[in-house]
A and B are shown apart, each in its own frame.
Chain A
């Protein structure tokens, strides 16, 4: 069991480019969370997805950010027209069921740097 896999681990983009971050949950997990961690700050919830459904996106910025979790393949967090303030570590976590009952398992994170 490879755990939660995130890639790329490090991504550098220039302002205005697009960033795509991928998350493959643990085998058997169908629930994915994305969190953002700004430098020297805590983890902020962004979005909670199940396969083919966005359950809660209350933490997502209204513009430029989108997330999906297709029936096949990894979950994708997409940031369009990146700005310097998007530089952060983006963590994905997966769980086997509704968050309340299950342990969150985190990936190692994707660190985005916007030049």
Chain B
């Protein structure tokens, strides 16, 4: 059974800092890993998708890496902004099932 853990559970940083969110998973037999953002009371917005054959994906100030062998992914956010404040979820795609981590709640302080 796939288990996905995200550390830290919460993070508060001043505006402008670079930061790293971590995601670890127990079963390395995955198809892909997806990072989502969830704003309070809202749905999920897909940020980045990394296929199992890839090592990283970049979109603007976001960079996600994947190390399947060690069961880890990181989401790097450069030059954080108050608008980045949200909960970030990683989701590990296996065969016919996607398992979510519990999320990291990020607050960027102006």
Contact = CB atoms under 8 A, between A and B. Distances in A.
Interface stretch (B18-26, B38-46, B74-82): B38-46
A111 to B, nearest CB: 8
A91 B100 CA distance: 13
A93 B45 CA distance: 11
Interface in A33-72: 33, 35, 41-45, 48, 55-56
A2 interface: no
A109 interface: yes
A37 to B, nearest CB: 9
Contact of A48 (B34, B41, B45, B97): B97
Contact of B93 (A35, A91, A100, A105): A100
Dominant SS at the B interface? strand
B96 interface: yes
Dominant SS at the A interface? strand
A104 B94 CA distance: 12
Q: How large is the interface on A (under 10, 10 to 19, 20 to 34, 35 or more residues)?
A: 20 to 34
Given A33-B98, A100-B95, A43 B34 contact: no
A104 B45 CA distance: 10
A41 B98 CA distance: 17
B106 interface: no
Contacts of A111: 41
B43 A55 contact: no
A105 B46 contact: yes
A25 interface: no
Contacts of A91: 43-44
Interface of B: 30-32, 34, 36, 41-46, 49, 89, 91, 93-103
- Counting from the closest, the 4 A-B pairs by CB-CB distance are A100-B31, A42-B102, A108-B43, A106-B44
18 contacts: A42-B101, A45-B97, A45-B100, A56-B97, A91-B44, A98-B96, A99-B93, A99-B94, A99-B96, A100-B30, A100-B31, A100-B94, A101-B93, A103-B46, A104-B91, A105-B46, A106-B44, A109-B42
